[in-house]
Structure 1
Amino acid sequence: MKIKSTLVIIVFFFISVCFSQTVVINELDSDTPSIDDKEFIELLSNIPNFSLDGYVLVFFNGSTNGADSSYLTIDLSGYTTDVNGLLLIGSNAVVPTPQLLIAPNLIQNGPDAVALFTGTAEDFPEGTLATTTNLVDALAYETGSAEAQSLWALLGLSGQVIEGPNNNTDSIQRFDDGLGNPDSISYLATIPTPRALNDGSGIILNGILTTVSQAQYDEGMAFDITFTSEQNVTSDLNINFSLNNQGFNTSDYTGNTSVIIPSGFNTVSTTITLIDDILDEGDEVLKISISTLPTEYLRLNNNLEIRVVDNDFTMAPFGTPLYPTTGIVASTQPTGYYDSINGLSNTTPTTLEQGLQNIIANPAIVRAQTYADVIDILEEADQNPANSNEVWLLYTEQGRAKLDIQTTSNNAGTWNREHTFPRSLAGYNSIDLDEIRDGKDVFWITKADSLRHGNSDAHALRAADGPENSSRNNQHYGQYNGPSGTAGSFKGDVARSVLYMQIRYNGLSIENGFPSTQGQMGDLVTLLDWHRNDPPDDFEMNRNNIVYEWQFNRNPFIDMPELVEYIWGNQAGMVWDNSLSVSDFSVETIKIYPNPINDQLFISGKNNEYNVVIFSSDGRKLQSKTLKNNSPFNLDLATGLYYARISSEGKTETKKFLVR
């Protein structure tokens, strides 16, 4: 039976090395509610201010897949316990701030174990089997998981401690009654006490809290940083801090970064002014980091991150997908890039599909980047044309700060990488090396059979709102049609991206309906409709050019959208020739104006007459008319996004326009 915040479970078991250690595992919190960012482990030395040089902390995975082997190693050389003999290890979200910082959510829930050894990190590469060699102390634990008896045995233990069920609020704490026998040691699951002795004894340290009134300021603004101690200080306390973080440095602000809390008081403030320069540096993050404090103090929080919004952002010469433009951004395809598909159809021995694949999956040219590299690609390729500090979000049709990339399991207010052809439908996943952002010039050789590389193919990955990405999940298009109330400006983009995936990778196909076979995705009819009603614009051409710089391949359905008809649509089986591309019609070319419009739309081009059909954003036909060149089409439409399908002399082009 578990009673909240009181004595829960006391487990006695024999650890052969636990009665004469200089350092022991004093407290472990392997599981915290929600996003697991407050996990920690605490060591205790029987000598205050004890150097941990020559010690290493190793975490072992007791699951079947983990094979009782190490998954995380922390070398403790260079660290020292405090005046109470404690060293706290955890993420910056732990309160008080740990002396040794690690990334959040690193410590597994169990059934696992953590062990302290003499040695170095090099002695325990990932996958090292648990051992008693050079073992100083060990703790096996669980959070309602199965037992890991083989792991106990390897570490010389005879049991494990239950911290509580998943998302519990307790920690496991060690108690020693000092009798020096196997029953001296007990473990209690109760309220966490990081950086404090478990029995309440020891020197009570005076905590320093750093506060700022806002989490975000614009360039040119001033703000106060306040430092407050839990108790009045008994002598002047000097606090030195830094604001530097990556590109943010002393050239970006003015103000004192050294303050004094006078004796007998408990607070002090200083004013920082952000310099409003004329440089487009992008939004930045300053970090308030207190340097070393006297031994009787600790930092209740530290490394506070404050966003500095750059007001010198730039705007692209082309529009967003919601207010699209065409003809401003030209394709950067090399001369003759698509020439080899001329004369091919899906009925010739070398099919049009195969001819395209030979170009965009050529292993001698095409490169595959890591899934982490995709973040860098999207920050450039999906940059909001209206604000260079933002990415454009696919489904929700809005900009979001590049700095708001999702980094934890909490996706609210963030953006992340959306697979338009979902992982689970395609059958590709990440590997460890996918988490390395190693840049353009480090890449994998890839080919048509390299399906795993579809996981990081930027032609089919887009910046998307975190919650909306989760809402879409792995639905087929047609099942998923985007958020209600949006204009659907993403529809042609996603259609061309998943059609590209069928050509690029063997084993993937686009089918009618909503197939359940891995490698298949739908709905083809829906996607063809989306492609026709939402043709490529400058935004999409720009991202095609940028992805090409990384992957050395292009999405042909952006460069030559009419190709879609020759593979899946109304020209299927016909022989392709570049001169038949709709892009030639665009260059010739047709323009609609003004855009946005009020009540009249004009068509301008080289031909004398055009047939114009107006569609709503959801594909409903609204009006049609045959117009003379530069004559008006009188419209009576509500505010919103619409499409004009324009035909002349056997050629057709669709353009977006906005009614305001």
Structure 2
Amino acid sequence: MRKLLALILFPTIIFGQDVLINELDADTPGIDNQEFLELRTITPNSSLDGYIVVFFNGSNSGGDSSYFTIDLNGFQTDINGLFLIGSTSVIPFPQFLIAENTIQNGADAVAIYQAPISDFPEGTLATTTNLVDALVYDTSDADDTELLALLGETTQINEGSSNNTNSIQRADDGSYFTDTPTPRQLNQGGGITLNGITITPSLTQVDEGASFTINFVIDEAPDQDLTYSITLDNNTFDANDFTGATTLTIAQGETETSTTIFLVDDALDEGDEVLRIKFENLNEPIIANNNFIDVRIVDNDFTTANFGTPLSPTYGNVFSTQPAGYYDSLDGLADIALAAAIQAIIAEEGVVRAQTYADVIDILKEADQNPLNSNQVWLVYTETAKAKLDFQTTSDNTGTWNREHTYPRSRGGFFSIEEDDFNDGINVFWNTTADSLRHGNSDAHALRAADAGENSSRGNQHYGQYNGPNGNAGSFKGDVARAVLYMELRYNDLSVVNGFPDITGQLGDLATLLDWHRNDPPDDYEINRNNIVYQWQFNRNPLIDQPDLVEYIWGDNIGDTWNQPLSVNQNMLSSVRFYPNPAAEQLIFTGLSAKTQVLIYSIDGKLVRNDYVENQTPLQLNLEKGVYFIQLNTDENRPVNLPLIIK
């Protein structure tokens, strides 16, 4: 009887559309994480197949064109005829999820079309063709008369000034009003009352091998036992990683229940993981107040490298993986000719690759990995470590890390394109040249993992204006100097100059950066980083491999002729050889005068083989594909270091 009575109490709807915009909250206090759009159908539980929602940008740069489109195929409204679109921060939990801070404040518009999503690629001008319903709105902005006309509307609705607590709601007579938001409730009352369950874990971060409790509280006690299930699976976290009940009952007349989850302490180095608490089978009028609740699982099986952090640097444990002869073309050159020859190597068209800005996240997780904990990245400037999982994904940068352009985007003239939003992996890349200045946006040699708040504090200041946070030890300074000087060599129209210029394409202060370079030489961490970026971009930072080049281009040796310094080890390379390289199953060494120790290291500095070989005797490998480094210890106790590729 309760359900039948509620249906009878639906207010009379005098508007005629099958699907309409019922409520919009485009601007919320703080970081805009609770904005939402609500649709309504005259008939409850109606299919939304064939409909799309399109958001239009009314700003001058947006040109009254689409910036976000949602395909509603496969969805339906609820028992009150409502369909809620919002982020995971919206309460109750939306039926369709979008990222936080997606909906723009206005003057903008949202519209429903009966059309395929392919009709509205990003940047499509607003139109009345196949239009079902539209709302043009603002947050105390001037009317966008062009957008109103394009959508056939005459009135622009004001939600309120910035950071307001209102939403725009449609009344039963079809008019609009503003009031306290009512997601998944009829705006003027009536309908079936939904009963929400709230998830509350006792901890949001738990060590592997420990346990925690998940509490569930329902708004109103059920009149019969309520049984439901949850799942915890998320990416690599699955049923093998925990024990504990996932089917639960809230007893008749009670308002809460709980379960204890025990995390399995395995011996696998899986990295930190995140389990996600999700309701599996709630049936209306029982709904989720919140959902997709994350709990971080801290892996205790992390690995460490054989080299130190920039704050506690080591030297001589990591070796450059530059190919033999990589810099030979520089010998005998000076000044402008030397710089041009460097650029010919590190910007060679058809060899050097440019990756997307999203790919840089994956590159930094590897290149800036904390040597003391493989589950963390090492942060430039603040000289601390942060969990890889703490990458900033919303407008809130608290406790997160992000990508820092050591050569700021605004000063270099770099920019992103739509394709930059996709991490398509190491084997998908753009062709690039010395003139491809846009690719400076995602050049990992000059991008570093950074504390998000400190990155914001640095802004686009020149070095010398910005010297890092108070009390820093300066462990990043040489790294930063070599990164931005690399950018001048790599890209045309970039330079590093004295002073603090306000000209796009110029960065200062050269004198400061030369001082930083001289006082903080390349360490194992920076060499390892150079090796990893090389695997992605097929170019190296020559100022790390050959740091004296800095003096020949910008410093005390300008005008002098460059020749690569030959160490005892390099001289010995003329007689010691191995083949094939790349190798698959075995290596054969030549030029050895006696039985010699062979140490093979992985790219991150781990010792993977320790053998003794004789001249022309095969060494069986049994190694995974990748880049390695061979160290030969001769009877004179002078190591010879050689790069090796396993195919």
- Normalising by structure 1, report the TM-score: 0.83
1:371 aligns with 2:357: yes
What amino acid maps onto 1:283 in structure 2? D
Distance 2:84 2:567 in 1: 65
Equivalent residue number for residue 468 of structure 1: 454
Question: In the superposition, relative to structure 1, how do residues 32 and 189 fare at CA in structure 2: closer, same or farther (>3 Å)?
Answer: same
Q: Which runs of structure 2 are paired with 1:458-497 in the superposition (5 Å)? A: 458-497=444-483
Distance 1:429 1:134 in 2: 35
What amino acid maps onto 1:105 in structure 2? N
Q: 1:329-365: per-residue Cα shift (whole Å, max 9, x none)?
A: 000000000000000001xxx6110010011010121
Equivalent residue number for residue 320 of structure 1: 309
Give the Å deviation of 1:18.
Answer: 8.1
Q: Which runs of structure 2 are paired with 1:270-309 in the superposition (5 Å)? A: 270-309=259-298
Match of 1:512 among 498, 509, 516: 498
Give the Å deviation of 1:297.
Answer: 1.1
Question: In the superposition, relative to structure 1, how do residues 583 and 82 fare at CA in structure 2: closer, same or farther (>3 Å)?
Answer: farther
What amino acid maps onto 2:489 in structure 1? I
Q: 1:182-236: per-residue Cα shift (whole Å, max 9, x none)?
A: xxx3211121110111112221111101111111000001111111111111111
Give the Å deviation of 1:62.
Answer: 2.0
1:408 aligns with 2:394: yes
Match of 1:157 among 145, 150, 153: 153
Distance 1:457 1:18 in 2: 58
Asked if the contact 2:224/2:251 (under 8 Å) is kept, the reply is yes
Distance 1:30 1:254 in 2: 41
Asked if the contact 1:374/1:456 (under 8 Å) is kept, the reply is yes
Match of 1:246 among 230, 235, 252: 235
Distance 1:18 1:166 in 2: 32
Asked if the contact 1:18/1:136 (under 8 Å) is kept, the reply is no
Match of 1:395 among 371, 376, 381: 381
Equivalent residue number for residue 384 of structure 1: 370
What amino acid maps onto 2:483 in structure 1? S
Give the SS at the match of 2:212: strand
Asked if the contact 2:40/2:82 (under 8 Å) is kept, the reply is yes
Match of 1:188 among 177, 193, 196: 177
Give the Å deviation of 1:581.
Answer: 8.3
Match of 2:49 among 50, 53, 65: 53
Equivalent residue number for residue 221 of structure 1: 210
Give the Å deviation of 1:584.
Answer: 7.7
Q: How many residues align?
A: 560
Distance 2:365 2:471 in 1: 26
Equivalent residue number for residue 114 of structure 2: 118
Give the SS at the match of 2:518: helix
Q: Which runs of structure 2 are paired with 1:72-151 in the superposition (5 Å)? A: 72-151=68-147
Equivalent residue number for residue 435 of structure 1: 421
Distance 2:327 2:59 in 1: 52
Equivalent residue number for residue 536 of structure 1: 522
Equivalent residue number for residue 535 of structure 2: 549
Range that drifts further, 26-35 or 487-496: 26-35
Give the SS at the match of 1:459: helix
Distance 2:410 2:54 in 1: 34
Root mean square deviation, CA, Å = 1.7
Q: 1:399-440: per-residue Cα shift (whole Å, max 9, x none)?
A: 100000011111111111011111111111111111110111
Give the SS at the match of 1:38: coil
Give the Å deviation of 1:262.
Answer: 1.3
What amino acid maps onto 2:486 in structure 1? Y
Equivalent residue number for residue 656 of structure 1: none
Asked if the contact 1:512/1:523 (under 8 Å) is kept, the reply is yes
1:452 aligns with 2:438: yes
Equivalent residue number for residue 342 of structure 2: 356
Equivalent residue number for residue 205 of structure 1: 194
What amino acid maps onto 1:503 in structure 2? L
Give the Å deviation of 1:145.
Answer: 2.2
Question: In the superposition, relative to structure 1, how do residues 584 and 336 fare at CA in structure 2: closer, same or farther (>3 Å)?
Answer: closer
- 4+ residue runs over 4 A deviation: 580-585
1:577 aligns with 2:573: no
| Structure 1 unmatched ranges of 5 or more | 1-16, 178-184, 588-660
Give the SS at the match of 1:246: coil
Equivalent residue number for residue 635 of structure 1: none
Distance 1:355 1:539 in 2: 27
Distance 2:510 2:132 in 1: 62
Give the Å deviation of 1:261.
Answer: 0.8
Asked if the contact 2:172/2:188 (under 8 Å) is kept, the reply is no
Asked if the contact 2:214/2:260 (under 8 Å) is kept, the reply is yes
Asked if the contact 2:14/2:172 (under 8 Å) is kept, the reply is no
Distance 1:425 1:359 in 2: 25
Give the Å deviation of 1:512.
Answer: 1.1
- Normalising by structure 2, report the TM-score: 0.85
Range that drifts further, 453-462 or 575-584: 575-584
Asked if the contact 2:203/2:213 (under 8 Å) is kept, the reply is no
Equivalent residue number for residue 236 of structure 1: 225
Give the Å deviation of 1:582.
Answer: 12
What amino acid maps onto 1:76 in structure 2? L
Q: 1:129-184: per-residue Cα shift (whole Å, max 9, x none)?
A: 2222222211110112232112212222111100111222211001023xxxxxxx
Give the Å deviation of 1:69.
Answer: 2.0
Distance 2:423 2:383 in 1: 27
